[in-house]
Amino acid sequence: MADAFCPDCKRSTEVVFDHSAGDTVCSECGLVLEAHAIDETSEWRTFANESADNDPVRVGGPSNPLLTDGGLSTVISKPNGAQGDFLSSSLGRWQNRGSNPDRSLILAFRTIANMADRLGLVATIKDRANEIYKKVEDLKSIRGRNQDAILAACLYIACRQEDRPRTVKEICSVANGATKKEIGRAKEYIVKQLEVEMGQSMEMGTIHAGDFLRRFCSHLGMSNQAVKAAQEAVQKSEELDIRRSPISIAAAVIYMITQLSEAKKPLRDISLATGVAEGTIRNSYKDLYPYASRIIPASFAKEEDLKNLCSP
């Protein structure tokens, strides 16, 4: 599932894709946000009724404007039941003579797609990450650098630009061995190179604590009432002068809300779900504690409940 803005709920909610009808439906109120969406991916149906061949590959892949030939080049495959070494045949030799200039790009796009799929990201983020990598690759300045870190950094930047940010730790979890430090350095390098090329600053989008909150709450299995209270608390916390990262504020708010609810969560579980160190959560909680009565919704916790809130 992905997130989208629901006009009835008046906020970003999780949506469900009904592939049979082509509808995008809000998971909370049931409103159909988009109807009869067109599936532009490859068609995988077989029309080989007159033969025993059940291979559904009767069409090519979708065109890709980032590739030299649009991704529509022809590949000569080995015929079914062919005898002998196909690569030594005349067709095989002609196939090998034609070198594909986009081979490295195709492999990079495939890696980005795998990482995005593992994180459950939408196609627009994958396409944006592919565009960023293509721009950097055209500059011929990434040779000798950690390729896995470069690809992960492209995906991180794409998430930021599409207003669907992911933490560096989340990106690192699918980055084929690249560390958080390597991804961070690669991100700074890519931004610097593209800013020099464009001659202007690169738009990265603003990160808010609310961008991560719903996902973190889902990992912790919090109730809908607790999630709504945490969302309201995060929105009110943005009015305060709390000099902490949005991720740390989101983790501290979750810790505060769970301490006021019946299903309390230990600090260790919150740290694992958010990727924020326990000490950082404590320090952020300490900064938010004096404002608890201002940010916690009155419908969720009464004033006497706030007095029982654990002091930092």
- Does residue 5 lie in a domain region? yes
Mean pLDDT, all residues of the chain: 81
Is 236 found in the same domain as 148? no
Is 161 found in the same domain as 134? yes
From first CA to last CA, the distance across the chain in angstroms is 36
Is 227 found in the same domain as 149? no
pLDDT at 18: 80
Is 304 found in the same domain as 215? yes
- Does residue 189 lie in a domain region? yes
Average pLDDT over residues 76-104: 59
In CATH, what number is assigned to the domain containing residue 114?
1.10.472.10
Give the position of tokens 């999780």: 14
- Does residue 90 lie in a domain region? no
Tens-digit pLDDT profile for residues 122-159: 999 999 999 999 988 888 877 778 899 999 999 999 99
Geometric angle at alpha carbon 172, from 24 and 136, rounded to 5°: 85
In the structure, what pLDDT confidence band is assigned to residue 104 with cuts at 50, 70 and 90? Answer: confident
pLDDT at 128: 92
The span from the CA of 254 to the CA of 256, in Å, is: 5
Range of the domain at 26: 1-49
Q: Of 178, 198, 218, which closes a domain?
A: 198
- Does residue 54 lie in a domain region? no
pLDDT at 71: 57
- Does residue 99 lie in a domain region? no
Asked whether residue 235 carries a pLDDT value surpassing 70, the answer given is yes
Average pLDDT over residues 57-62: 57
Is 215 found in the same domain as 166? no
Domain count, the chain: 3
In CATH, what number is assigned to the domain containing residue 15?
2.20.25.10
pLDDT at 301: 73
In the structure, what pLDDT confidence band is assigned to residue 80 with cuts at 50, 70 and 90? Answer: low
- Does residue 86 lie in a domain region? no
pLDDT at 126: 93
* Higher-scoring residue by pLDDT: 207, 112: 112
* Higher-scoring residue by pLDDT: 1, 163: 163
Q: Of 49, 64, 80, which closes a domain?
A: 49
- Does residue 97 lie in a domain region? no
Question: What pTM did the predictor assign?
Answer: 0.68
- Does residue 256 lie in a domain region? yes
pLDDT at 155: 94
Give the position of tokens 């080995």: 78
Cβ atoms of 63 and 71 within 8 Å: the answer is yes
E strands in 36-111: none
Q: Of 137, 169, 198, which closes a domain?
A: 198
Q: How does 89-121 read in b/e, with b if 16+ C-beta sit within 10 Å?
A: eeebeebeeeeeebeebeebbebbbebbeebeb
Q: Return the amino acid letter for 275.
A: G
Is 220 found in the same domain as 159? no
Is 213 found in the same domain as 192? no
Tens-digit pLDDT profile for residues 15-39: 888 877 778 888 888 888 888 777 6
